[in-house]
Amino acid sequence: VMAVHFLKVGEKGSPKPEHDPIVAISTYDGKMLRQFKYDGKTDKHLIEDFLNHVKALDPDIIVGYGITEDWSYLAERCKRVDVPLEVGRNYAKPHTSVFGHVSVTGRINMDLFHNARENPQLTEYTLDEYAQSLGLSVEYRIPEHKYPEYLNSSDVDRLFKQSEEYAKLVYRIWMMLGDFAIQLSQITGLPMDHVFTASPGHRAEAYLIREAYSLGELIPQRIEKPYVPYVGGLVLQPQEGVYENVSVIDFSSMYPNLMLKYNISPDTYVPEGEECGDCFVSPESKHRFRKDYKGVYASMLQKLLDARRSVRKRLENVKEGSVEHRVLDARQKALKILANTLYGYAGWVGARWYLREVAESVAEWGRHTIRMAIEKAREMGLKIIYGDTDSIFVTDGEKLKNLVGWIESELGMEARVDKKYSRILFTEAKKRYGGLLAADGLEVVGLEVVRGDWAEIAKETQLGVLKTMLETRDVSKAVSYVRNIIAEARSGRVEMEKMIIWKRMTKPPEAYEVRAPHVLAALELSKRGWRIDVGDKVGYIVTRGSSKIGERARPYQLVEKKDIDYEYYVRNQIVPAAMRILKVFGVDEQTLLQEPKKGLMAFGTG
């Protein structure tokens, strides 16, 4: 296995292969760390040295983060410097395959970025953020927008060192995920270098095609169908406030279990007008599903779940940390992910086995199941704080275990206490909360602090307020914290970098009809010779002036500290981010913006 990191630097905007040479390529194979550097004149020699290294090492697997784009970049650089790009075992160039994947003949080319895309908790999709989501610790890194500054300074070695560290980090991640990729490939029949690139729906379909063939089932043709929306999972309106000792009951694999329980499948669906003596009937739309034979979804789900139970049983008798334990654990995870994917696949209009009534009925039975569990919990005297699709947030109590037992015995669903919060704060909005996990510290869901489109000063403020309120519940302390940040901002003592607002371009700057702030900033950069393409991130700062906000948004590269409109950041970034938390406690904006009001200590705590 060879992990690779390409260091590319654009002097004006994101690096472009037509103009910007590769600065360094770092590789790591678990033993040897190598780096090939730009000589200040051309990247021809570093490319040749890298390609010779690949031939000498002859890796079976090449792994990178964003390596799909890196190969395209390298291919263009090779044209520019007249070097044949021979990395395949037959000396072939990398070539685009299915799902947009880049294949390297005779080798397995893995792009971890495609695995990161499936994580809904990520906002920036950087290698560091991805590594942290997997539980790996990451030191401070030089952000990409500062690469040109470091490249032209005496501190350039830090940039080269960072590239080496990234190659090692990619290797560490592969050591964590490699077995999983192999097992996913074995189960679905997809080539291993396609399992991360393929969407969850395509992975599920590959498995279904394979299993349908073995069962003697005809495989439907893919037919274009119109999308008809249906109601999804149940999400309760949260009860705003702070709560202590809250447990999350998770309905393990709820949708696959419902599909099994009610035999929900395209081939068991009974259309209107047809008779059905003994059918399962969905709670709301009254769709009917036959009971007299097992449908294709139920058959395949049963096989997946039985296989997972068998693997987990074998795991109990295998030494933890051994190769066998690693492989078996990876297999049970792959089986679980495929089983959970089948519900989403059933509702995917591009699926061969698509039927809207199937997806709609599964969602209905899911909502029905959650409502029944909530009613039982209240009957037992337990307080329901929140519910989201396949989980409910319940205040701890003696009857918590009884509720889990009732769910399993009466509803026929697997359930477990998934998380325990020592303290959790809910805002007025669904899917936006933060809590202190009893074991793993602070967890934040949906708030500005984890979103990519707010200035760093706003995220920093909100995180500080959230921590203060969860750890101390001291309103006056949180208010003082925000006022100090406001005072720092108004006096111009906040670092300029914390004022940058980042937005990603989804189309070329000139193609936007609505001239949002980041679009105007991108257009200004383009006029000055910067190259702004789809996918590039544009950073802007709001400057002083009396015109509209969008017209005062300027590229951060062209702004001096004295030009920043700090009052804009106070009123549109710092205060709104803080108020998301503090209004739960009765604090208003004026309390943050003005001198402390008399009786501040009397504010409630929700």
pLDDT in tens, 91-101: 889 998 888 88
What's residue 582's pLDDT?
93
- 120 in a domain, yes or no? yes
* pLDDT above 90 (res 228): no
The CA distance from 185 to 409, in Å, is: 36
Within this chain, do residues 471 and 577 fall inside the same structural domain, yes or no?
yes
Within this chain, do residues 163 and 257 fall inside the same structural domain, yes or no?
no
pLDDT in tens, 325-345: 888 888 888 998 898 888 888
Within this chain, do residues 487 and 500 fall inside the same structural domain, yes or no?
no
Within this chain, do residues 506 and 485 fall inside the same structural domain, yes or no?
no
What's residue 100's pLDDT?
82
In angstroms, what CA-CA distances link 15 with 233, 349, 411, 530? 42, 37, 56, 10
What's residue 579's pLDDT?
93
Report the 10 Å Cβ neighbour count for 42: 13
Within this chain, do residues 310 and 428 fall inside the same structural domain, yes or no?
yes
Within this chain, do residues 135 and 149 fall inside the same structural domain, yes or no?
yes
Alpha helix segments (H runs only) across 189-235: 200-215
Last residue of a domain, one of 163, 198, 233: 198
Last residue of a domain, one of 131, 164, 198: 198
Within this chain, do residues 301 and 226 fall inside the same structural domain, yes or no?
yes
- 442 in a domain, yes or no? no
pLDDT in tens, 102-143: 999 999 999 999 999 888 777 778 899 899 888 888 888 888
SS3 state of residue 61: strand
C-alpha of 401 from chain center: 32
Within this chain, do residues 425 and 451 fall inside the same structural domain, yes or no?
no
Q: What is the pTM of this model?
A: 0.81
Report the 10 Å Cβ neighbour count for 476: 14
- 322 in a domain, yes or no? yes
Within this chain, do residues 177 and 325 fall inside the same structural domain, yes or no?
no
Within this chain, do residues 458 and 380 fall inside the same structural domain, yes or no?
no
* pLDDT above 80 (res 402): yes
Nearest-10 crossing angle of helices 475-490, 456-471: 160
Query: Which tokens belong to 583?
Result: 């209004």
Range of the domain at 415: 203-437
Q: For residue 287, what is the enclosing H or E element?
A: none
Q: In what order do the strands lie in the sheet with 241-251?
A: 384-387, 391-395, 241-251, 415-426, 433-437, 441-445
Place of tokens 């927008």: 145
- 79 in a domain, yes or no? yes
Within this chain, do residues 30 and 132 fall inside the same structural domain, yes or no?
yes
pLDDT in tens, 299-329: 889 888 889 889 989 988 888 888 888 888 8
Q: In what order do the strands lie in the sheet with 61-64?
A: 33-37, 22-28, 2-8, 61-64, 108-111
Q: What is the domain-level CATH number for residue 91?
A: 3.30.420.10
Alpha helix segments (H runs only) across 253-355: 254-261, 296-315, 323-346
Within this chain, do residues 227 and 150 fall inside the same structural domain, yes or no?
no
The CA distance from 286 to 277, in Å, is: 14
Q: What is the domain-level CATH number for residue 532?
A: 1.10.132.60
What is the count of structural domains for the chain?
4
Last residue of a domain, one of 167, 198, 229: 198
- 100 in a domain, yes or no? yes
Q: What is the domain-level CATH number for residue 301?
A: 3.90.1600.10
Query: Which tokens belong to 341?
Result: 């994917």
Report the 10 Å Cβ neighbour count for 133: 12
